[in-house]
Amino acid sequence: HTGSWAEAYPDIITCANMFWWPAGTDWPDRLAAEPGTGQLNPLNSNTYKVAKNAIRDVINMFPDAFFHAGADEVTPNCWKSDPDIQAFLAKNGTLSQLLEMFVNSTLPYIISHNRTVIYWEDVLLDANINVAASLLPKEYVILQTWNNGPSNTKKLVEAGYRVIVSSADYYYLDCGHGGWVGNDSLYNQPPGTDLGNGGSWCAPFKTWQTIYNYDITYGLNTDNAKLVLGGEVALWSEQADPTVMDPRIWPRASAMAETLWSGNRDSTGMKRYAEATDRLNEWRNRMVTRGIGKKLVEAGYRVIVSSAEFYYLDCGHRGWAGNDSQYNQPPGTNLGNGGSWCAPFKTWQTIYNYDITYGLHIEEAKLVLGGEVVLWSEQADPAVMDPRIWPRVSAMAETLWSGNRDSAGMKRYAEATDRLNEWRNRMVTRGIGAEPIQPLWCFRNPGICNTIQPFKLS
C-alpha cells in the first residue's frame, strides 16, 4: 500500500522502492518483513493529512462500527534509513516515540467518527517498537492477536483489552504452501532435510482438524475469557488470488465457525470430530453443487519414483476419517499433521529440491526411469484438481527434464521462481486455476522479490 503512496506522495514514505533485504546483511537488518518496502514517516506533517483523508474515505464508504488501523510489523531499519528520523534518534528520540506520534494523531481522529479501533497486537507487544498502554484506551480499542497462540491472548486480556484471535499457529490459511521469495538459500538442502516447511515461515498447513481443535479461550479464567470477542481466520494474498481463494478458505473457515458458534466438545468434554466430519462433508458437497470450489473433507528393477515425502500432492490437507481420537489435543500440540499421515504439504520448493537419483552410483541411476507426482482422490475431485496440481507438477517437470542445479551445483531457485511465475500467469489467462507463486507485482518487477539482491535498483 505504501508503495503506491510513494508514487504520489514520496515525501511521506521512508525506505520506498529499496531492496527489502540488503545484500550481506542479517535478518535484523532488513528493511521490511517481505518485499516491498515503505513505511509512513511520523515526523512529516503531510503524512497525517494523507492518512486522515484515507481514513475519512474508508469511514464514508463503510458504515461499520469498527476501523482496523493496523500498526503491525513496523520494521526499525526502514525508519532509520530516513535522514530526519536519524536526526530525531540522535537527539535521544526512540522508534517507539515515532509510533506513539502516529497513534496519538490518528487514533483520536478515528474515535471522533464513532468508530472502535482495532490494532494488531504488535502495537502493544512488539519487542522493539510499541506504545504505552495508557495511549490505547480500552473502551475504544480492540487488539487482534496473531503470535504465540494462547500466550499472547492471555497477555492482552490480562491487560484488560478485548481481543480478536487470529493465531498464526492455527488460523493462518496460507501457511504451509511454501515460501514465495526467490533465490532463497535455505532451499538448497539434500533430500531428507528441510521437509518441515518448504520455506513457509508459519508451516505446517493448517488442516480443518487443527483449526477445529483450537480453543481460543484456553488457559483463561471466566472473567478474562469474556474479553475474547471471537476469532478470525486469515488468508493473505501473497500466494492466494481469486483463482484459488475458495478452496483455500473452505471448508477450513467453517471448522472455525462451528467451534466458535456451537463449541467443539460433547457432553463428556471430548472433541466432536465424528459429528463435525459428517456435517462438514455434507456442507462441502452442497457448496460444490452451487458452483463453489471447495476442498473435500473425505473425500535390479527399473524404477519410477513417486516418493510420498516429496511427490504426494494430497499430503498435508488433513485426515478424512471421522472420529479420530488423535484430534483431541490441547492447543500447542498435534500441529504437525492435522491428521494427514504424510504431512506436511509438499510445496513446489520441496518438489523442486528432490533429486530422484540422490545417493545412487551411475549404473544404479540409469535404472531410475523418472518420477510421477500423485494426487489421490480421497480429498480431491474436479472442484479443486487444477490448483492442487499446478504449478507443483511443473516444478517436478523442470527438475526431471532440465535439472535443478546450475554450473556451480547450486539449486536454481531464483530462475525457477521466475519461470514458474511467468508460466503460472499464462496458465491462469487460459482459464486453468494454478496456484500463485508470488504476488502479481513481483511478476511485473522481476528480481525485486528475491532474498538476495541480484541487481542494483535504480
CB 365 within 8 A of CB 409: no
In which region does residue 318 sit, left (phi positive, over 0), alpha (psi from -120 to 50) or beta (all else)? left
> In a 3-state reduction of DSSP, which class is residue 172?
strand
- CA-CA distance, 360 to 302, in Å (whole number)? 13
Non-local (6+) Cβ contacts of 345 within 8 A are: 176, 177, 198, 203, 204, 205, 315, 316, 317
CB 318 within 8 A of CB 338: yes
CB 251 within 8 A of CB 295: yes
Please identify which of the residues 34, 73, 282, 364 carries the catalytic annotation: 73
Residue 73 known to be catalytic = yes
Non-local (6+) Cβ contacts of 422 within 8 A are: 443
> Could you tell me how far CA 5 lies from the centroid of its own chain?
24
- CA-CA distance, 412 to 183, in Å (whole number)? 7
- Pairs from 334-337 (Cβ < 8 Å, separation ≥ 24): 334/210, 334/213, 335/169, 335/170, 335/204, 335/210, 336/204, 337/204, 337/207
- Label residue 42 exposed, middle or buried (CB < 10 Å: 0-12, 13-18, 19+): buried
CB 227 within 8 A of CB 299: no
Which residues belong to the active site?
73
